[in-house]
Amino acid sequence: MVPLFLAACGEAPPDPVVQHVSMNLTDASAGFGLELVDRLLAAPDAGNVFISPLSATLALSMAASAARDDTQTAFLKTLGLDPTVDPSTQARQTIDRLLQSDANAQLELAQAVWAKKGLPLTPEYVAKLRSDYRAQIANLDFTSPDAPNVVNRWVDNATHHKIPQLVDSFDPATVAYLVNATYFHALWATEFQTSSEPVDFHTFSGATVSVPMMKRDESVTELWTPDYIGEVLPYKGGRFSMVLLLPPKVLSPGGFTSLLTKTNWDQALGYLHNSVGPSLGGSCKPWASGPDVHVDCDGSLVMPKFKLDYSANLLPSLVAMGMPVGDLSDICSGCFISSVAQKTHLEVDEKGTTAAAATGGSVATALRIPTIVDHPFALALIDNATDAPLFLGAIGQL
């Protein structure tokens, strides 16, 4: 039987409700991503932090697949993964599921491994890279001046030119390089309008800058709690959403570590699911839990439109979280991880969102009083099928 959808003349059929699924890697990504973001925000010189837990997990999973015994167990525990399950199996399930997207959104994942010529990668490891991670494998002379360009050209192409350079140079001791590139582009289910007036945005430090804004005057799913306001902004097709958390006052980067906890994250998504159902892209129904916590289906929102680029050396934070640096015996005897770099890119405007990563007085009126995002906020780009944050961060400098 072929399903038939009928709609009133001039009306598009509603987006289908995404079936919620559970997978080890995506289930773990929120906890791993939140802890990593918190550690980066706690750094003395922290500003904006915007990472891709998915990109980091897939790149580090390729390294974990090269380790054995206690080293592999420590890798997987750091990532929040089940140490009794082969990481390549978990990665294959995730890659296959996430690539089952639709015509309304682009989510592209690419993996590559470059190895020094003659490096004795085990046949079993090579088979996992090719079949489970769908990784491209090639030899590279890391002592060549052109070696960084080889990697950067691949990353630039895989991220649709949003991240043109990931590598500056290679240490002379480098024998292999493992990369994940993640690209996301989607249009809002309901477009924003350009706001006629800029708004003074209060940065992490409390200084103000004038930034261009965009607005939606109705039908925004809005969660109200004493500690934050949550906004759900679905993308066309219903597969992905942005979740934005706005605290009631200006926070420093370190102040976000008390907001971006796994407890608060699970609580916020739980409240929202009570209203919109199993998928964050579902239809909103008003919901309340006592006088202080409720979901409003007809909120109004004014938020910045912006672009940002972010980069970080993740290795110190990962080591502090318990990740070992070696021994990656399936790559070579004595091999260890010497650096973990991640770069991300984010664009948010009236039409939608593009993100890329490699490894943001009482007045009587007929319109709703809008929530104005005029100070630091947290945001995540969510796979509605799993609640996994593909991208996650805190934005306070525009």
Q: How is residue 19 annotated by DSSP?
A: P
pLDDT at 1: 32
User: CA separation (Å) from 293 to 222, 268, 290?
Assistant: 11, 10, 6
From first to last of its 398 residues, the chain has per-residue pLDDT tens of 333 332 333 444 445 555 555 567 777 888 999 999 999 999 988 899 999 999 999 999 998 898 888 888 998 999 998 888 888 988 998 888 888 766 788 889 999 999 888 888 889 999 999 999 999 999 989 889 999 999 999 999 999 999 999 999 888 888 889 999 999 999 999 999 998 888 899 999 889 999 999 999 888 999 999 999 999 999 998 889 999 999 999 999 999 999 999 999 999 999 999 999 988 888 999 999 988 999 999 999 999 999 999 999 898 999 999 988 777 878 877 778 888 899 999 999 999 999 999 982 222 233 456 788 888 888 888 888 888 888 898 888 88
Amino acid at 318: L
340/359 Cα distance (integer angstroms): 8
pLDDT at 13: 45
Query: Which stretches does DSSP call E strand in 148-239?
Result: 176-187, 193-194, 199-202, 208-211, 213-224, 229-234
Tokens read off for 125 = 């490891």
Structural domains in the chain, CATH included, are 24-186+307-346 (3.30.497.10), 188-304+363-395 (2.30.39.10)
pLDDT at 32: 92
Helix (H) or strand (E) run with residue 294 in it: strand 293-304
pLDDT at 102: 67
33/54 Cα distance (integer angstroms): 8
pLDDT at 384: 87
Does the pTM surpass 0.75? The reply is yes
Q: What is the 3-state composition of the chain as percent helix, strand, coil, each rounded to the nearest 5?
A: 25, 30, 45
**Residue 195 burial (CB count, 10 A):** 18
Tokens read off for 370 = 């809008």
Is residue 284 within 8 Å of 295, Cβ to Cβ?
yes
pLDDT at 260: 94
* Residue 96 three-state SS: helix
Tokens read off for 282 = 């579902």
374/367 Cα distance (integer angstroms): 20
Continuous H helices in 244-354:
262-276, 315-320
CB neighbour list of residue 163: distance below 8 Å, 6 or more residues apart:
155, 156, 181, 343, 344, 345, 356, 357, 358
